[in-house]
Chain A
């Protein structure tokens, strides 16, 4: 028995698009109590994802040469191996 493949990580643009949908639905006032709470829970997860993506490109510019990146990757692969 094989396990189903894990869903690919949501991209930033997909997460923000889904967030906009959720806010629109909540603003409409048509969502019931249970749906509202579920949408809020999903929305908070998406907000955390977007915040993490923004945090990853907000910690300060890191410049490196291609050969430095290759050496770092090889070192990482060597350590892993």
Chain B
């Protein structure tokens, strides 16, 4: 039995009643609270703690929070699986206010005593999601990201994901498959719970603000809709929609559809696929393609240069060939002119000889010589013509005359004359006899 408290004197001058023993007052308070109407409340569960006898948690929403407790036996009777009541999960509880009065050795505590509990199903989340989706769609926020140009070969890729998650490895695997080895900027953020959405939003804004990032991948592995609900945050989705950098989202598995999938430029089923979509070009193949294109250009270029060289060569040869042809034609004309000149000289000489013979014939006829005489005269004329020095000259002989024009017919006469003229068939040349030239 506890010993009765000895009541001390009250505070001098105070008009308040008492003093009362605190334990009794606390018990009165407990009774007062227990008499309050019993109600149902809804909110997000937070800080769930299990003890041997009781379960403690906080029920929160944007406007306030309430500490709650539940008998462990009642909680276990619900048969909830592990992880269902994770932080942030929406629940509905029924019960009333209660107060543990505490003792001299234990602290008092106020709580809402939960007698009934229901986990708000995905149907509730889906309805909420559907309302928000319609709001964003009506605001035209699904389109802006789709209009952004996504580079085929980004130099810098930003990735928003959980630091320890598997999504990180999947992104790297996707980039390896593309043969991409550029600059990768990690913006790690929580990807689950109530803190996730603001952090993801800030990471996206910071990545875009650098001006260095060509495309951003937002990646998270699978989970329940409650787990992924941060990617349906209205502020986050509005930020993505109005971001100047294309965002490729890969949140959850292919059956999940969060709002970021709707507002992003592209939605992919896995982080690996998202990484591959961020680099549409397969870099290794592209290098081979560029080399192939360069070779084809070289072939065309060489062929064109060869063709040009041949054309230039042909054009360069043409003037030379033309001049050579003209030269050949001129030489031919010159030979023809010289030959014609020589023929004319010979013909003139023959005509002169014939005229002399004719004169002799006429003179003989005029002299009235008899026919025999005439015949003889003709024969003499012919003989004379045969001995005509000019004819002899034509055969290669030369006439030698001295300075007075007299014929020089011996070597001695030639030595005496010293200067002589040699007359050939075509022309005459002057010559000097050397004094020592005494050859026979």
Footprint of B on A, CB under 8 Å? 11-13, 16, 19-20, 22-23, 26-27, 33, 36-37, 39-40, 43-44, 47, 50-51, 53-54, 56-66, 69-70, 73
Contacts and interface: CB of A to CB of B under 8 A. Distances in A.
A50 B287 CA distance: 9
Contacts of A27: 296
A65 B287 CA distance: 29
B18 interface: no
B369 interface: no
19 contacts: A12-B153, A13-B151, A13-B281, A22-B297, A23-B297, A26-B297, A36-B300, A36-B301, A51-B290, A51-B294, A54-B153, A54-B286, A54-B290, A56-B155, A61-B180, A64-B184, A64-B185, A65-B187, A66-B206
Contacts of A43: 293, 297
Interface string B211-228: 010000000000000000
A65 B301 contact: no
Contacts of A37: 301, 304-305, 308
Contacts of B300: 26, 36, 39-40
Contact of A66 (B175, B180, B185, B281): B185
Give the 8 A-B residue pairs with the shortest CB-CB distance, closest first.
A57-B182, A40-B301, A13-B152, A12-B153, A66-B187, A36-B304, A43-B297, A26-B300
Contacts of B151: 11-13
B304 A40 contact: yes
A65 B289 CA distance: 33
Interface string B176-187: 000111111111
Contacts of B180: 57, 61
Contacts of B281: 12-13
A58 B151 CA distance: 16
A33 B184 CA distance: 46
Contacts of A50: 286, 290
Contact of B210 (A23, A36, A73): A73
Given A11-B151, A36-B304, A66-B186, A61 B207 contact: no
B183 A62 contact: yes
B309 to A, nearest CB: 11
A39 B305 CA distance: 13
A69 B206 CA distance: 10
Nearest to B293: A19
Contact of A53 (B153, B294, B304): B153
B304 A69 contact: no
A60 B182 CA distance: 7
Nearest to A64: B185
Contacts of B212: 69, 73
A63 B186 contact: yes
B152 A11 contact: yes
Interface in B278-321: 279, 281, 283, 286-287, 289-290, 293-294, 296-297, 300-301, 304-305, 307-308, 311
Contacts of A20: 293
B158 interface: yes
B188 interface: yes
B183 A64 contact: yes
